[in-house]
Amino acid sequence: MPKRLRYYLNKITDQKTTTYRYNEIVDGRPVQKEIYDGECVVVYLKRNDEPQSDRTGIRREPTFWHNGIAYTFDRTNRMALDRPTVTVAIPIQAVGVTDRLTVAAADFCLRALRPYFDEINAQYANRSRPDRDNGKFILYDPGSKVLLRNAAYFAEIPDKDYKDGKGNVIYEYPDVDLPPDLMCLCVRMEIQLPHLKLDRAKTMLLKQLPETIERFVKEFDHGKLAAALNLYETQTAIRTFLRDNGYCAFIANGSILARERGSDAPAADSLPFQSPAEDEIEIAGIRGMGIKRGVTVITGGGYSGKSTVLNAVSAGIYNHTAGDGRELCITDESAVTITAEDGRAVSGVNISPFIKWLPGGDPSDFSTAHASGSTSQGANIMEAVSMGAGLLLIDEDRSATNFMIRDAVMKELIEREPITPFTDRVRELAGMGVSTILVIGGSGEYLSVADKVFMMDEFVMSEVTARAKALAVPQADTPKAACWDMPSSVMRGFSAYPQGTTREKLAVSDTGFIIIGDERIDVRYLHDIATDAQVNALAFMLRYLAKKEAGTDSLEAMALAMRGLEPKGGSGTADAAAGARELFEKLETEGLDLVDTGFFVGMERFMDMPRLFELMAAVRRMRAAAR
């Protein structure tokens, strides 16, 4: 590691430090500094290396270069001075990854790097002491999903534009053009520096960190990378085929769909999936079951595996790594899992396709702090459809019964019924281009409206459409076509500042809530969130939208909050959907760093990219700031 970082660490005189601050003498007085600042004394040189009339300056440079690799230090949060976040930037030529700079390539590199630091962590592990006493390199565990994340990505970074001098002195050439930016593999990690063990901290930062990175580069396995990229390209080819040929999902033969109890790992004794012969297709050399667009019913007895199939279809929204068992289960990326959600907040949703009237309310512009099972499920469908969902995934066991079905006898008996059951709308949705896959165990009504019916029996799937149609009771008269338009989603005075305070509040609770300002948003029933890091990203995105909606800088926002007033833009005119789409467009080009900040003590910094569906679902679950 460069001597400049060594200089900062050697300035720390307290061997039992927990803050990793050091003292610098300024104007004859000791001034406390932090290693995160990277404060340098700059000497400006001419082209011939002569000083420019003793001209000097001060520069903050928290990036340290060693053997062509950059290490940038940042606070993990404003209180964790003993736990820096370090972004390692490795030029792509160093690892030999000069093309196919995809999400899958970055994901592979993260997975390949983790075992190297696991070896070091094993040396320090002591079960009788916490990590803060032992020290630890903390790399993100990506699980089996392949997602855009801030733990590993490709980006251009500024090349080194100075020479190192003695101590914290650097030499700059202001009259020389800056070097071009470098395309790098960027890996973010946190490093828990040990309390009371300064020498070990120096070893971790100055020796083990750079040596491990350089060993990773030297031993990089290009063969395994090629295999990961080939799988990614196969997954992409399947997604393209589905989109272009009228299919919404594909399950490869041989896939392991069941999971170990309490785990996301494939079940060891699971029966490999085999497509019914009638629905077997081949895509990119892979044979399996293709599920066509329209209305598909999966039925069967209890514990037959029907929900396992639906869960695998849901998992196929995202790509998975080899060995997951579902890596070739591919689903329309706009699919949304729909359930009932008793007690959820609903803000400004048109549920009139399913609810004809409400006591004292308007179903075409429905808001409530505590929705029922039927109104919540209707709202979930409407929100998904309004954001462009092309596929709904519904399990009867997680639905409101009175929302799902209303047989002919009950329709005849109950003349004044406000609920239009989903059976009466599912074909209408299909005509609009919104397909549905349903798991049904107890209602025969869906057999008459299905395009395809599959039967699960002891985890073996068969196609039984003709038999089901012969047994089905024809559907009674369907209601007239519904109005599917949605009211605009707006935010009223949405702020990350709790009322009457001068400090923003942002946190993600262990129980599944995002706390921002005065809002406590329940995201437990957003079933297509695959990782905790996606929830972290949603929280940071909501804060970004709050600051944008405020239309002012943080100082003015604080002043207004102290007076109990709304910031500018808080009049309820901010279109949440438009703002969310604009944010996602920026994230595609600028990355997740756009919304990242180390200000909040209660927030983890690792983020996985969520979908627009989940961001808007979080907005519509606000109880006060949205409608």
Lowest mean pLDDT among 31-35, 295-299, 473-477, 623-627: 623-627
C-alpha to C-alpha distance for 360 and 436, rounded to whole angstroms = 32
Residue 626 forms part of a structural domain: no
Amino acid at 320: H
Confidence at residue 477, expressed as pLDDT on a 0 to 100 scale? 73
Across the range 438-464, mean pLDDT stands at 94
Can you read off the two tokens belonging to residue 193?
């520096």
Task: Indicate whether 444 and 333 sit together in one domain.
Answer: yes
Residues 75, 71: Cα–Cα separation, whole Å: 13
213 and 257 part of one domain: no
Among candidates 418, 417, 381, which has minimal Cα distance to 399? Answer: 381
Measured CA angle at 577 (ends 573, 582), to 5 deg: 100
Give the type of residue at 412. Answer: E
Contact status, residue 39 vs residue 60, Cβ threshold 8 Å:
yes
41 sits in which H/E element? strand 39-45
Kind plus residue range of the DSSP H or E element containing 122: helix 103-124
The continuous run of DSSP H or E covering 44 comes out as: strand 39-45
The yes-or-no verdict on residue 68 having pLDDT over 70 is: yes
Total count of domains within the chain: 3
Q: What is the CATH number of the domain that holds 360?
A: 3.40.50.300
Same domain, 29 and 172: yes
> Residue 290 gets which letter from DSSP?
E
Single out the residue of 330, 325, 333, 331 nearest to residue 264, CA to CA. Answer: 325
HSE-CB at 75 with a 13 A cutoff on CA atoms is: 17
Q: What is the pLDDT of residue 478?
A: 78
* Best CA proximity match to 313, nearest among 269, 262, 233, 247: 247
The string of pLDDT tens digits covering residues 177-192 is 999 999 999 999 999 9
Looking at the structure, tell me whether residues 467 and 598 fall in a common domain.
Answer: no
Cβ atoms of 539 and 506 within 8 Å: the answer is yes
Tell me how crowded residue 164 is: count the other CB atoms within 10 A of its CB. Answer: 17
Arithmetic mean of pLDDT, 313-340: 98
Asked whether residue 210 falls in the same domain as residue 259, the answer is no
Q: What is the rounded distance in angstroms from the CA atom of residue 172 to the CA atom of residue 163?
A: 7
Residues 180 and 56 in one domain: yes
What is the predicted pLDDT for the residue at 220? 97
Residue 575 binned pLDDT confidence (cut-offs 50, 70, 90): confident
Unique residue bearing structure tokens 């964790």: 80
Q: Which of 471, 498, 518 lies at the terminal end of a domain, its last residue?
A: 471
Q: Is 229 contained in some domain?
A: no
Q: What is the mean pLDDT of the chain?
A: 91
Q: Which of 305, 292, 267, 324 has the alpha carbon at shortest distance from 107?
A: 324
Is 58 a member of any domain?
Answer: yes
* Rounded alpha-carbon distances, angstroms, from residue 483 to 9, 108, 371, 613: 66, 46, 21, 21
Q: Could you tell me if 312 and 454 lie in one domain? A: yes
Do 279 and 420 sit in the same domain of this protein?
yes
The domain of 585 spans 490-619
Q: Using a CB cutoff of 8 Å and minimum separation of 24, what contacts does 452-455 make?
A: 452/279, 452/291, 452/292, 452/294, 452/295, 452/296, 452/297, 453/296, 453/297, 453/299, 454/276, 454/296, 454/297, 454/298, 454/299, 455/299, 455/300
CB atoms within 10 A of CB 301: 12
The answer to the question of residue 197 being in a domain is yes
Distances (CA, A) of 559 to 86, 494, 534, 544, 556: 34, 15, 32, 19, 5
User: CA 552 from chain center: how many Å?
Assistant: 27
Whether residue 74 contacts residue 598, with contact meaning beta carbons closer than 8 Å, is answered with: yes
In a shared domain, residues 177 and 268:
no
Q: How big is the chain by its Cα radius of gyration, in Å?
A: 28
Residue among 415, 408, 414, 432 at smallest CA distance from 423: 408
CA distances to 186, 216, 608 from 92, rounded to whole Å, are: 9, 13, 22
How does DSSP assign 484-515, residue by residue? ------EESS--SSPTT-SS--EEE-TTSEEE
Where do we find the tokens 């569906």? Answer: 613
Answer yes or no: is 586 within a domain. yes
Q: In angstroms, rounded to a whole number, what is the distance separating the alpha carbons of residues 368 and 376?
A: 10
pLDDT of residue 554: 43
pLDDT (tens digit, 9 = 90+) per residue, 369-382? 999 999 999 999 99
User: Is the domain of 340 the same as that of 276?
Assistant: yes
Q: Is residue 477 part of a domain?
A: no
In a domain, 485, yes or no: no
Q: Is the dihedral of CA 237, 238, 240, 244 positive or negative?
A: positive
351: amino acid identity, one letter: I
Kindly report the backbone phi and psi dihedral angles of residue 148, in degrees, each rounded to the nearest multiple of 5, phi listed first. -70, 125
Q: Does one domain contain both 310 and 381?
A: yes
- Containing 438, the helix (H) or strand (E) segment is strand 435-440
Do residues 456 and 563 share a domain? no
Has residue 238 been placed in a domain? no
Tens-digit pLDDT profile for residues 70-124:
999 999 998 888 999 999 999 999 999 988 899 999 999 999 999 999 999 999 9
159's tokens: 């090349």
Q: Is the pLDDT of residue 480 over 60?
A: yes
User: Is 573's pLDDT higher than 50?
Assistant: no
